[in-house]
Chains A and B, each alone.
Chain A
Amino acid sequence: MEDDKLLKKAKKGEGVAFGELYDKYAPKVYRYVFLKLNGKKSDAEDLTHEVFLSAWKNMENFDDRGVPFMSYLYKVARNAVIDHWRTVRPTYDIETIAEERFSVDPDIAGKIDFDSDMIAVKECLSKLEPVYQDVLIMKFIEDFSNREVARALEKSEGAVRVIQHRALKQLRKEIEKHGSRFKKTTEEI
Chain B
Amino acid sequence: MDQDLKKQLKKFREIEPDESFLRKSRVLILSLEKEKRVIFFGSHVTAWAMSFAVVFLLILGYLFIPARSGQVPIASAEALNKELNAMNINIALSEVSYNNQINQTINKTLSAVTSNAALHLNPDILQSESLMMASMTVAGNGSQVDDLLNQVLQ
Is B26 a contact of A60 with CB atoms below 8 Å? no
Known: A121-B8, A141-B9. A108 touches B25 (CB 8 A): no
Is A18 a contact of B30 with CB atoms below 8 Å? yes
CA distance A15 to B22 in the complex (A): 15
Q: Out of B13, B25, B37, which one reaches A52, CB within 8 Å?
A: B25
CA distance A27 to B30 in the complex (A): 17
Q: Is B62 an interface residue (CB 8 A)?
A: no
Is B13 a contact of A13 with CB atoms below 8 Å? no
Is B29 a contact of A136 with CB atoms below 8 Å? no
Nearest opposing residue in chain A for B2, CB measure:
A168
Is A172 a contact of B17 with CB atoms below 8 Å? no
Is B15 a contact of A34 with CB atoms below 8 Å? yes
Q: Which residues of B contact A49 (CB under 8 A)?
A: 25, 28-29
Is A27 a contact of B16 with CB atoms below 8 Å? yes
List B residues 20-49 near A (Cβ within 8 Å).
Answer: 21-22, 25-26, 28-30, 32, 34-35, 37
CA distance A148 to B18 in the complex (A): 27
Q: Which residues of B contact A117 (CB under 8 A)?
A: 8
Interface residue tally for chain B (C-beta within 8 Å): 26
Known: A23-B26, A56-B29, A56-B30. A30 touches B10 (CB 8 A): no
CA distance A8 to B69 in the complex (A): 53
List B residues 43-80 near A (Cβ within 8 Å).
Answer: none
Q: Which residues of B contact A171 (CB under 8 A)?
A: 5
Main secondary structure of the interface of A (DSSP, over half): helix
Q: Out of B2, B15, B17, B32, which one reaches A53, CB within 8 Å?
A: B32
* Min distance, Cβ B125 to any Cβ of chain A, angstroms: 109
CA distance A60 to B39 in the complex (A): 13
Interface residues on A, range: 35 or more
Q: Out of A18, A52, A122, which one reaches B12, CB within 8 Å?
A: A122
Known: A26-B22, A57-B35. A141 touches B30 (CB 8 A): no
Q: Is A144 an interface residue (CB 8 A)?
A: no
* Min distance, Cβ A156 to any Cβ of chain B, angstroms: 23
CA distance A186 to B106 in the complex (A): 132
CA distance A24 to B64 in the complex (A): 58
Q: Which residues of A contact B8 (CB under 8 A)?
A: 117-118, 121
Q: Out of B10, B22, B28, which one reaches A140, CB within 8 Å?
A: B10
Nearest opposing residue in chain B for A136, CB measure:
B9
Is A172 a contact of B32 with CB atoms below 8 Å? no
Nearest opposing residue in chain B for A111, CB measure:
B16
Is B12 a contact of A118 with CB atoms below 8 Å? yes
CA distance A45 to B16 in the complex (A): 11
Is A27 a contact of B28 with CB atoms below 8 Å? no
Q: A57-B32, A118-B8, A140-B9 provided; 19 other pairs, C-beta below 8 A?
A: A18-B30, A19-B30, A22-B29, A26-B17, A26-B22, A27-B22, A44-B17, A48-B17, A49-B25, A49-B28, A49-B29, A60-B37, A108-B15, A125-B9, A137-B12, A141-B13, A168-B2, A168-B5, A172-B1
12 pairs, A vs B, C-beta closer than 8 Å: A13-B34, A22-B26, A27-B16, A27-B17, A30-B16, A31-B12, A44-B17, A45-B18, A49-B28, A52-B25, A117-B8, A137-B9
